[in-house]
Structure 1
Amino acid sequence: MKDFFKYTFASLIGSLLGIALIVGLGFGGLIFLVGSIASKAKDIGPQVKDKSVLVFDLATNITDTRPISTTGEALQEALSGDQPATITLRKAINALDTAAQDEKIIGLYIKGSSTPGRTGLANLQEIRQALQRFRETGKKIIAYDVDWTEREYYLGSVADEIVINPLGAIEFNGLSSQTMFLSGAFDKFGIGVQVTRVGKYKSAVEPFIRKEISPENREQTLKLLRDIWGKYLQKIAPSRGLTVQQLQAIANEQGILMADAAVDSKLVDRVGYYDEVLSELKVLTGKEEDDKTFTQISLNNYTRVPEVIEVASGDVKSKNKIAVVYAEGEIVNGTGTPRQIGGDRLAKELRRLRLDDKVKAVVLRVNSPGGSASASEVIGREVKMTREQKPIIVSMGNIAASGGYWISMNADKIFAEPTTITGSIGVFGVLFNIQELGNENGITWDTVKIGQFADLNNNSRPKTEEELALIQNMVDSIYERFITDVATARDLPKEKVAEIAQGRVWSGVSAQELGLVDEITGIEGAIEFAAETAELGDNWKVEEYPKSRSLEQRIFRSLSGVEAEISTSPIDPLTAEFQKLQQELASLRAMNDPYGIYTRLPFNLRIE
């Protein structure tokens, strides 16, 4: 109840403050605020004390870009005093690498959480590599949690010392992927579904027409899970002095290990309480036992240290720019929302960068399950045209599949992580109608038309056989174009592309073996390769696009200037399942292709 009033009050005051700012300050006041922000931006940033420990809170989400905040959300965040639970991937990597060389940073504390972040698998890979580089400098890493999830443990396993609470447990039981099927609900509510598709593995339509996973989808999902799990074990094994076979045996025979069993299995080093870890960190930083805490700086705060910002930006005085463009979300026609990849909006951004002589190379960071086929083609065309004028490199994130692969294939080079989910080269059409739903509620329709297909886009009735044949022909044509373009862009025989396409999903490591991806490396490697390809030496700087999204976010971040505990609370299982349903329905809302034809990953593929 206290939190309810806290956030409600913050939201109310935020809204009133926003109105007051606009009405009370006027144009001159806004100019003053902008000037204040510019002045604040030159602040020296957080101060790092001698013998500090960098604190990495595992409640933090590591994403490619910061989530978009509305005015109200940004105001509430500022007024409530809660620290954003998200850090961008490049900021996190550069902060860890800078801290590794910072003489004032003497160690790192990986702080477990009861509500761990949901960082994607590929991003986890890059963060773990940065943690490993930190450890290789000889600086100590200590990790503590009550209950270790597999994602948390993947990062925590880098530590010199892993501590678990006496009543804690560690999850080490493998990976799984569950699909939610909606066909039964559609039948119950009278929503009709008709599909067209190409590719026996193109399983994106299955939730709408089946009640269980098809054999083909089960086959591809199992292969994907094995690839990802294999890389997971390969990274953890040397850190813990164990073999992959020993780790697999633990997963098969135990799965969930209580604290003492985790020590016996060598997954953790010792059992202990937080206060004991706190005492150890006090000793490490030269504090006395009666001091309240140890000398520390959070990873979130450390990203704002000037040296970290300089590393991330490159040579800020250089006139040569490397543009890092983020393509994150569903691919939709038009401009889309800030959380989507609008085909027209991204194409316009790429066109502008292509024509900017100061931009010497482009890194397109793709984190998308795909979406509209026509929007993917609009973006893909601009990628191809950019390649003709300057280097354009694709860095694949957690997912770059189907339409996400379409917009990637024409780049000079494609980089991915081993756990990137890509491929899914296939096309499908999904056509909904509400005839039965309407009829059961007393609603009917009648149509007058000139031309057999004049009402093709009508959702009040099922499509006729002739209409389905027409749409299937369109799907076949787009699929043929897709595999032909992949063969040309990747310099592969068309027969091979036809074999490995079929809508099948691949891991990054498998995609490299098949020729769909060039190299296994992260976003920083892609940026360095872009600079090398453009022959810039060290004379370049990085600029990220799209630019900062709103004025109010800058104002509130500047005015708050504080770092607080990340505000999280565990979600009950029923709410968590309902949120999954909301995500499924959100995917349906993003399906705005005028002909209902999509190049998209299987809907909301989740790996737990």
Structure 2
Amino acid sequence: MLRLPFVALINLLLLVRSLLGLPFRLLASRHRPAYVRFRLTGDPPYRERRRARFQLGGSRPEPAAVTSLERFRESLRLLAADARVKGILLEVENLEVPPAKRDALVSVLGDFRRAGKRVVAWAVSVDTDAYPLMCAADEALLAPMGRVDVVGYAAEATALGEGLSRVGIQAHFVRRGDYKTAPELFTHATVSDIQARTVESFLDERYVDLVDAVAQGRRKTPEEVRALIDRGPFSARRAVEAGLVDALVSEADLPVHLGLVKPGEGHEDETELEPMATYLATVPFPPVRWRRLRLPPRVALVPVSGLIVPGQAGSSERMTSSGSVVKALRAAGRDRRTKAVVLYINSPGGAPLASEQMLEAVQRVGRKKPVIAFMDRVCASAGFMVAVGAKEIWSAPHAVVGSIGVFAGKFDASVLLERLGVHRTVIVRGENAALNSNSRGFTERERAALEAEVEEIYQAFLAYVAKGRGRTPEEIHSLAEGRVYSGMRAKGLGLVDHVGGFEAACGRALELAKVPAERFDLVTYGGPKQRLSLLKLLMGAARAQVYALCPTAWSLGGPWGTDDLEEMIRALGLRSGLDSPESGRLP
């Protein structure tokens, strides 16, 4: 009851502010824009991120920028109900969303168009990933100097074995399963057929979706689309001739093209192409976020992004420590308003010790409230081990899932040291005391001990997944040994419960909690707070840790690039690397 007077006071202030602005909005309503401008760039989150009330420094988004899919959806719903609004102008620039977010954006645009409104997409340059979004518009426009770089999908699988040997480094690894191809990055001179076929299977799925999206949006046959892709990239002139865009229009001429300014008039004033904030200033009664007496239910979002490492360090988009995730899960479990937890995983794997700690924390929270694991990019190896602790696993259709397997090994730098004039003598007390030494390879006894450890960790991994998925270890073994699947294939094999989007996963979490899901707050616990150094963390370890990595994540151009791969190689080379159950960006 103590909340009642505060809610009443805040709502009264909101009402007064709305009434005071009413005369000004009535005067401005004569100039309500017929088209509202939105700028889609980067990787906007699924839901709006809360900003600090008093935040110093940093840059604020542009007025027209889409700050979240949630806010974009709300804006288009409001515009769809306004008879004076003809449509929107959607500027697409440097879009970096995963296929799942792109599909969600296409769905939002589709709802807007079905309401009788028009979507005009405009870009200076658009690539293969972003072009399907332009195909979802009624009209696709390109700047006269622009390009359409629709060329299909390419992936680069890497083999460093010969290169390492040339500088005097030999990689010695043990793996469990032929499909556990991560060690091949360091041991093989060329990319294996298994690794190539794995990457090709993902490219095939994405290519089919690309052809279907372009064929439907541009009213062409699949054969015509495939022929066009093979002719790419396209200059602006060739893109129009090929029917990939409808017209070439400069930014200054957009008002004329949309019929907002007559040709020949001084259209340098582009006030008609205003963002959503300007539109709201022309609506007599814009939506007001009234404070409710009863707070809406809360869904906790706990991100697991990047490499999974042990310790209490913070997290970044490239790496997550077990301590930070465990702490976040505990906080979500204690929060009484939090009715369910969504575990967002975007990880190629990491240390099994760290993932087991996270798994135990997920299971502990799951005994209090439902936990849903969701992935839209990569959930592989140690990342998948964390996911199996959830009540249900949700995946985007083209997410990288699985890679249940184990590998372990180290780098022998003895030849390199000899070339540099560095001489080392290994003196031991204990047969396996020098197991982690980089000054020589494994002895037969050391290799046998390593193989036994790999087998033990692999069997434990199978047991975790079997328990989480309600299967037998033998059934999981037939799907494991490092095999990697897309979300769609993983669903058919029983490794994933549902293929769907982020909002659907949140709704399902509240459904399991038996809470109405019409409206809820999303609050992030944990997540990236600072930039961490993987090299620094590993150097501080008392001994080499076990890491589980999925090379397909790098091959398919995920959130990790060449710099991350080089950093990982340097880090693994510090000590003997026991790299085990192999297998981001916040939503």
Instruction: Report the TM range for the smaller structure's normalisation.
Output: 0.7 to 0.9
Deviations 1:24-69 (A, max 9, x none): xxxxxxxxxxxxxxxxxxx99xx998327444435423357999xx
Match of 1:217 in 2: 195
The partner residue of 1:170 within 126, 148, 163 is 148
Is residue 88–residue 118 contact of structure 2 (8 Å, CA) maintained in 1?
A: yes
Is residue 181–residue 211 contact of structure 1 (8 Å, CA) maintained in 2?
A: yes
Is 2:169 the counterpart of 1:191? Answer: yes
The DSSP-based 3-state class of the residue aligned with 1:62 is coil
Is residue 304–residue 325 contact of structure 2 (8 Å, CA) maintained in 1?
A: yes
Q: Using the alignment, how far apart are the partners of 2:276 and 2:206 within structure 1?
A: 27
Map 1:384-533; keep pairs closer than 5 Å.
Answer: 384-533=363-512
Cα shift at 1:549: 7.1
Q: Using the alignment, how far apart are the partners of 1:309 and 1:485 within structure 2?
A: 48
Match of 1:236 in 2: 214
Q: Using the alignment, how far apart are the partners of 2:442 and 2:64 within structure 1?
A: 46
The DSSP-based 3-state class of the residue aligned with 2:433 is coil
Q: Using the alignment, how far apart are the partners of 1:177 and 1:496 within structure 2?
A: 31
Is 2:303 the counterpart of 1:326? Answer: yes
Match of 1:143 in 2: 121
Match of 2:330 in 1: 351
Cα shift at 1:247: 2.0
Between stretches 452-461 and 255-264, larger displacement belongs to 255-264
Cα shift at 1:162: 0.5
- Structure 1 239/378 Cα, relative in aligned 2: closer, same or farther at 3 Å? same
- Structure 1 320/61 Cα, relative in aligned 2: closer, same or farther at 3 Å? closer
The DSSP-based 3-state class of the residue aligned with 2:404 is coil
Q: Using the alignment, how far apart are the partners of 2:178 and 2:474 within structure 1?
A: 16
Is residue 61–residue 86 contact of structure 1 (8 Å, CA) maintained in 2?
A: no
Q: Using the alignment, how far apart are the partners of 1:402 and 1:245 within structure 2?
A: 38
Is residue 99–residue 134 contact of structure 1 (8 Å, CA) maintained in 2?
A: no
Is residue 59–residue 85 contact of structure 1 (8 Å, CA) maintained in 2?
A: no
Q: Using the alignment, how far apart are the partners of 1:391 and 1:461 within structure 2?
A: 49
Is 2:245 the counterpart of 1:268? Answer: yes
What TM-score do you get using the length of structure 1 for normalisation? Answer: 0.74
The DSSP-based 3-state class of the residue aligned with 2:183 is helix
Q: Using the alignment, how far apart are the partners of 1:160 and 1:501 within structure 2?
A: 45
The DSSP-based 3-state class of the residue aligned with 2:129 is helix
Match of 1:376 in 2: 355
Match of 1:583 in 2: 564
Is residue 48–residue 71 contact of structure 2 (8 Å, CA) maintained in 1?
A: no
Deviations 1:55-87 (A, max 9, x none): 4435423357999xxxxxx97744xx8869997
Cα shift at 1:258: 4.0
Between stretches 399-408 and 431-440, larger displacement belongs to 431-440
Q: Using the alignment, how far apart are the partners of 1:301 and 1:139 within structure 2?
A: 19
What letter is aligned with 1:272? V
- Structure 1 370/317 Cα, relative in aligned 2: closer, same or farther at 3 Å? farther
**Percent identical:** 25
Match of 2:44 in 1: 62
- Gap runs ≥5 in structure 1: 1-42, 68-73, 552-575
Is 2:110 the counterpart of 1:110? Answer: no
Is residue 320–residue 541 contact of structure 1 (8 Å, CA) maintained in 2?
A: yes
Match of 1:126 in 2: 104
Deviations 1:314-345 (A, max 9, x none): 97942642211111111111134421211122
Is residue 428–residue 597 contact of structure 1 (8 Å, CA) maintained in 2?
A: yes
Cα shift at 1:211: 3.0
Deviations 1:425-467 (A, max 9, x none): 2222241233222222222223443321223233333222221
Deviations 1:248-292 (A, max 9, x none): 23324x23344454345433222333333242347189x974352
Q: Using the alignment, how far apart are the partners of 1:485 and 1:379 within structure 2?
A: 12
Cα shift at 1:144: 2.0
Is residue 335–residue 345 contact of structure 1 (8 Å, CA) maintained in 2?
A: yes
Is residue 301–residue 522 contact of structure 2 (8 Å, CA) maintained in 1?
A: yes
Q: Using the alignment, how far apart are the partners of 2:526 and 2:383 within structure 1?
A: 21
Cα shift at 1:362: 0.6
- Gap runs ≥5 in structure 2: 1-16, 19-24, 50-54, 281-285, 531-556
The DSSP-based 3-state class of the residue aligned with 2:387 is coil
- Structure 1 266/190 Cα, relative in aligned 2: closer, same or farther at 3 Å? same
Q: Using the alignment, how far apart are the partners of 1:200 and 1:402 within structure 2?
A: 15
Match of 2:226 in 1: 248
The DSSP-based 3-state class of the residue aligned with 1:537 is coil
Is residue 140–residue 245 contact of structure 2 (8 Å, CA) maintained in 1?
A: yes
RMSD after superposition: 4.0
Is residue 95–residue 308 contact of structure 1 (8 Å, CA) maintained in 2?
A: no
Match of 1:22 in 2: none
Q: Using the alignment, how far apart are the partners of 1:598 and 1:204 within structure 2?
A: 10
Deviations 1:149-192 (A, max 9, x none): 11121211111101234454423332110123333332233233
What letter is aligned with 2:410? L
The partner residue of 1:95 within 47, 71, 75 is 71
Q: Using the alignment, how far apart are the partners of 1:432 and 1:106 within structure 2?
A: 63
Is residue 395–residue 415 contact of structure 1 (8 Å, CA) maintained in 2?
A: yes
- Structure 1 168/468 Cα, relative in aligned 2: closer, same or farther at 3 Å? same
Q: Using the alignment, how far apart are the partners of 2:182 and 2:166 within structure 1?
A: 21
Cα shift at 1:524: 0.9
Match of 2:340 in 1: 361
Match of 1:544 in 2: 523
- Structure 1 110/540 Cα, relative in aligned 2: closer, same or farther at 3 Å? closer
Cα shift at 1:393: 0.7
Match of 2:321 in 1: 342
The DSSP-based 3-state class of the residue aligned with 1:411 is coil
Cα shift at 1:360: 1.7
- Structure 1 96/322 Cα, relative in aligned 2: closer, same or farther at 3 Å? same
- Structure 1 210/316 Cα, relative in aligned 2: closer, same or farther at 3 Å? farther
What letter is aligned with 1:449? V
Q: Using the alignment, how far apart are the partners of 1:324 and 1:288 within structure 2?
A: 51
What letter is aligned with 2:105? I
The partner residue of 1:161 within 102, 119, 139 is 139
**Quick check: which has more Rg, 1 or 2?**
2
Cα shift at 1:194: 1.1
Q: Using the alignment, how far apart are the partners of 1:380 and 1:300 within structure 2?
A: 44
Is residue 356–residue 385 contact of structure 2 (8 Å, CA) maintained in 1?
A: yes
The DSSP-based 3-state class of the residue aligned with 2:200 is helix
The DSSP-based 3-state class of the residue aligned with 1:151 is coil
Q: Using the alignment, how far apart are the partners of 1:299 and 1:244 within structure 2?
A: 37
Tell me how many residue pairs correspond in the alignment. Answer: 517
Is residue 324–residue 526 contact of structure 2 (8 Å, CA) maintained in 1?
A: no
What TM-score do you get using the length of structure 2 for normalisation? Answer: 0.77
